[in-house]
Structure 1
C-alpha cells in the first residue's frame, strides 16, 4: 500500500497498521528492540510524548484514556482517535505549532513530520517485539531514510536516535532505515 502524502490520511494509514499490531499483541511485557523497553513501553512512548508536544506547542489537549499499564489497547485507541480528530478538524488547516527546536509550522505538518513518522518507525518495534508482521511501506522507508541521512548530525545530537547499526551493503531500505535509527534490524528478542 502506498501511503498518502496528506497528513490526515497518512496518519489514518500509519496509525491503522500500528493499531492492528496493538490489537494483535498477546503479551505486553515482552522485550522490544528499544533497549530497556517492553512492548507496553512502545505504546507508552507514543501516547505520552505526543500529548505534551501538542499541548505545549499548539494548546491542544488530547483526550485521556486508561493508563498504558492498565489497558494498553484502550490507551492507544483513545490517543490515536484524538490525534486523528485533530487532523480531521477543518480548523487544523489554520493552526500552527510552535516549538523552540523547530520554530513555527503548520500543525498538520508538525504532526505528520514528527509524530506520524514516529508511529511508523515504532510499528516495527512493536511488531518485532510481539512476533507480528514487521514489514513497513518501502517507499515511505526510502523517503524517511533519505531525509534523515541529510540531517544525521542533528538527529544524533538530539539523543532521540541510537548509534547507527551497520547493515549489509545490499540490505533493503527498511533494514537500512532501522539500522540508521539505531535498531538492530536482525533483533529477535531471543
Structure 2
C-alpha cells in the first residue's frame, strides 16, 4: 500500500502532459462528462486540486463556486503548481490519519477521492482533446478497489454516474472508468 502522495505524484506526472497539450481551440470541446466542456472540466479539476490541499491539512473546503482559472494565459503553469502543492499537502505528516475536514471521512478515503478525480479527469481531457493517456499501473491497482468502495457514496452525491457495463476481460482502468459512469470507448465524434 503506497502513500497517497506517491500515488498523486505518479498521476500528476502522467496528467501534466495532457493538460499542457490543451490548446485554446479545444477549450469548448465536449468531454466524457456531459456537464463539462474542456474549459469547465479544467476549472473543476483545478478547484478540486486546491480544495483537497485544504482537506489534507484537515481544514474545511469550499466547493460552492468554481472560479474560471483558464481566463489567463498561465493556467497550465497554475495547474502544475497546484498539483505540486497537492502532492506536498498529502505528503505532510498526518495527512492520511484521522478524518478530514467537514466531510468527516477517513483521510485516506479522501486522498483516494482526489486521486480518482485527477486520474479519471486526465483521461477525460485526453479523450476530449485527442491525446493519449495511460495511467500509472500502480495507481490503477490501488485506485480500482477504492473506486469500487466509494461508488455508492459517490453516486449518492452525484459525483459518479450509473456504472457502465464492460466486458469481463476489460482492463482494471476500463473498469474504474465504467464504475464512475464513463464509457471507456467514449469519443468526441
For residues 111-149 of structure 1, the C-alpha deviation after alignment (integer angstroms, 9 at most, x for no partner) is 632212321111111111111112223453343232333
- Listed as ranges, the gaps of 5+ residues in structure 1 are none
- 1:1-190 pair list within 5 angstroms: 5-26=2-23, 27-55=26-54, 58-59=58-59, 67-71=69-73, 72-88=75-91, 92-94=92-94, 98-103=100-105, 105=107, 109=108, 112-190=111-189
**Structure 2: distance between partners of 1:141 and 1:60:** 28
**Structure 1: distance between partners of 2:110 and 2:150:** 19
8 Å Cα contact 1:28-1:38 kept in structure 2? yes
Following superposition, the deviation at residue 17 of structure 1 comes to 1.1
Following superposition, the deviation at residue 110 of structure 1 comes to 5.9
8 Å Cα contact 2:53-2:86 kept in structure 1? no
Indicate the RMSD between aligned Cα atoms, in angstroms.
2.8
Following superposition, the deviation at residue 151 of structure 1 comes to 4.6
Query: How many residues are treated as equivalent by the alignment?
Result: 177
TM-score using structure 2 length: 0.77
Change (3 A) 1:168 1:103: closer
Following superposition, the deviation at residue 78 of structure 1 comes to 2.7
SS of the counterpart of 1:117?
helix
8 Å Cα contact 2:7-2:139 kept in structure 1? no
SS of the counterpart of 1:132?
coil
Per the alignment, residue 64 of structure 2 pairs with: none
SS of the counterpart of 2:103?
coil
**Structure 2: distance between partners of 1:161 and 1:60:** 22
Following superposition, the deviation at residue 59 of structure 1 comes to 3.8
